[in-house]
Amino acid sequence: MDEVLWKAITRCDPHYDGKFFYGVDTTGVFCRPSCKSRNPKRENVRIFLTINEAVSANFRPCKRCSPDHLRWPNEDLTHHVVELIESRYQESLTLPKLADMLHMSPYHLHRTFKRVTGQTPAQFLKNTRLKTAKHLLAETDKTISDVAVAAGFPNTAHFSTAFLKQYGLTPSAYRCQHTPNFTLGR
């Protein structure tokens, strides 16, 4: 076996995922190079260029690393989480709920999302809700309470506090500044 491939396996290098797979003769399982399972003995390892090659050689996919694409690479996972949050921000979305939707552990989801985006899923959710609220405040005549509900906040007080902290203005003050014909008595 090539030394580069062996190092990729022993270092669990994700850069080689999709370029090759390795099977372990003693277990009958094949993995991605980034799999965090225990390092096999080098003499028991077989290299495959495709999943079909591994399956044809009677190896089954590892349940940990899901080399048969049941688990997304980090960027795809993050993109999927962003789509979920942007389409369902009005719902009560918690980290465990998101993780359950994606069939993964909350810890892995949190760590991966933060590593790729620089923010936690909860921060992204809050920012999505606040952006929606800004738009609704400037473009509609909904009450502050209705804006809070439409943006997915559990209550008006929570919404007002988060909005003030993020933008330095209360929702009412923001609306006054961004809608020229708006009056507070409205």
Catalytic residues: 31
Contact partners, residue 76, CB within 8 Å, separation at least 6 = none
Least Cα distance to 51 among 59, 63, 39, 40 occurs for 59
Contact partners, residue 131, CB within 8 Å, separation at least 6 = none
Round to whole Å and give the CA distance between 131 and 113.
20
What single-letter amino acid sits at 144? I
The answer to whether residues 115 and 81 touch, using CB atoms and an 8 Å cutoff, is: no
Round to whole Å and give the CA distance between 40 and 28.
12
Q: What does the longest C-alpha to C-alpha distance in the chain come to? A: 79
> What are 28's two structure tokens?
């009958």
